[in-house]
Amino acid sequence: MTADLVVVGAGSGGFGAALAAARRGCSVVVVERSGAIGGNANRCGVNNWEPVCGATGFPHEIYRRLEQIPGAAGIYGFGRHCVWQGTDAYPGGEHVLFPERSYRDTMVRHGARSLADDEAFVRENLFGVVFEPRAYEAVLRQMLGETGRCRVMLGRTVASAGASGGRLQSVTLDDGLQVEADAFVDGTGDGDLARLAGCELVSGQESRDAYGEPSAPDEPNDRVNAVTLMFRITAKPEPGIDPLPDDLAQERAVSKERDRAVACDWAQRFPLVVTVEYPNGDRNVNMLPTMDGREYLNEARKPGGHERAYAECRRRLYATWRHLQTNWPEFRSFAVDSISPEIGVRESYRLVAERVLTEHAILRPIPEDDEEGVIAIADHALDRHGEKGGAMELKHPFGVPFHCLVPRGYTNLLVACRAAGFSSIAASSCRLSRTMMQLGQAAGTACALARDDNRDPSEVDLAALRRELRADGVQLSWPMEPEVGRVVGLG
């Protein structure tokens, strides 16, 4: 099979790349491991987009389509938070719907001092989007389908990649099918395609020596952001504490050890939770976190490790749910409706790219010149969960240069997902779904422009790329340029 572009992984980044390239006339093959498109935002229960600036382009278009479907999406803001009202009032953060708010309200995060110090700012300014995963996936499918040029292969993965001299020629799928293309985008979240192509990837925190980042540790370590198994709760007619599922209840009966695990002794304390109200009144529940990132990655590297990690996260989830229902009676009016089929991974492997986004770049204002080649902007806090976690709000938005997507020494492969060229510190900020989708939009646009100019994507004309992105309503400056605001209808 041949195509202009092969995209591996159909999450936020992969979707953005496939759509941008296909809309510009490229034939695109998308290879997705799971049975659905949407990635984390669908399969891992991350059915919300936190506030982030720059969220124009495709995310805004998706929201406008979701708005047309009754009950598919809404704007949420802060209800209660334990840092303001104490944990007796709420065991973490509560997000509720604000029907009078608009998408525009979800496009700023920076400027707050911290959640604890700046309640008034947070209440007035921090809003996000919540959506139904099925509607979300249907909209993504519709958008790809409309291009007529995108072939999506679900339940398939890449077994090997044919590369030489810094160029990929083809990928071979697990069933033996070979797909040749002029350009490739890795949207796997973990850099799987880049690894198969022989690119260098890293994991864990760099030391301060690596990039001179002020917040980096003295020595490198293997710490990565923690993982969460998300779940959804729904109102039930008779309030009460839910029985444990049979397998966990039995474990309780037979083993004291297991009893302790079920009772969540694993962290010496129960995690805080963030809940988000869906338009139908259900709640999305995000434990912060379910498992340490290292614990997860170490397990996931072993055969059968994913399944074992999932089983352990599920056990912790039910223990946390029991704890919530026992101590906050309001949760007794809800029952667990569903548990996400996959664990949500915030950080695993990151690319050694032609350019690495570091804490320095996150803390400086957006570079405006075309040479820097900023192709997405964002302003999420530096935000780590688990051991030595914490959040630091940003004073202003930052820009992501195009060459953070280009593996060092490669010319026709771009990595447009959370495995792009970020330091561990930068990754803790630059990882939100909408930001990843914008990296994807830029990568797909770059592949199409490069094809038109008969060159490889790494050599794309950055001025032209930025011009095209702006023409497609992508915000690359702060505050928003009037022309972009006009294109996207956000003024």
Ligand X SMILES: Cc1cc2nc3c(=O)[nH]c(=O)nc-3n(C[C@H](O)[C@H](O)[C@H](O)COP(=O)(O)OP(=O)(O)OC[C@H]3O[C@@H](n4cnc5c(N)ncnc54)[C@H](O)[C@@H]3O)c2cc1C
Q: Rule CB under 6 A: which residues touch ligand X?
A: 8-14, 31-34, 39-41, 44, 46, 48-50, 157-158, 187-190, 192, 228, 230, 286, 344-346, 417-418, 431-434, 436
Q: How far apart are CA 378 and CA 397, in angstroms?
A: 5
Q: For residue 73, give every residue at least 6 positions away whose Cβ sits within 8 Å of its Cβ, in sequence order, or none.
A: 63, 66, 67, 129, 130, 131, 132, 135, 279
Shortest Å, Cβ 7 to ligand X: 9
Contact 466/419 with Cβ under 8 angstroms? no
> Looking at beta carbons, which residue is closest to ligand X?
11
The span from the first CA to the last CA of the chain, in angstroms, equals: 44
Q: Which amino acid is at 451?
A: R
Shortest Å, Cβ 41 to ligand X: 5
Q: How far apart are CA 317 and CA 375, in angstroms?
A: 38
Q: How far apart are CA 428 and CA 378, in angstroms?
A: 12
Summary count for the chain: helices (H), strands (E): 17, 21
Q: Which of 358, 30, 407 is nearest to 191 (CA)?
A: 407
Closer Cβ to ligand X, 96 or 244, answer by number? 96
Shortest Å, Cβ 428 to ligand X: 10
Q: How far apart are CA 331 and CA 318, in angstroms?
A: 13
Shortest Å, Cβ 47 to ligand X: 9
From the CA atom positions of the chain, what is the Rg in Å?
22
Closer Cβ to ligand X, 34 or 203, answer by number? 34
Closer Cβ to ligand X, 41 or 381, answer by number? 41
Closer Cβ to ligand X, 10 or 357, answer by number? 10
Shortest Å, Cβ 340 to ligand X: 9
Closer Cβ to ligand X, 151 or 252, answer by number? 151
Contact 298/309 with Cβ under 8 angstroms? no
Shortest Å, Cβ 432 to ligand X: 3
Closer Cβ to ligand X, 44 or 465, answer by number? 44
Closer Cβ to ligand X, 322 or 431, answer by number? 431
Tokens 């993504």 map to which residue? Answer: 140
Contact 444/18 with Cβ under 8 angstroms? yes
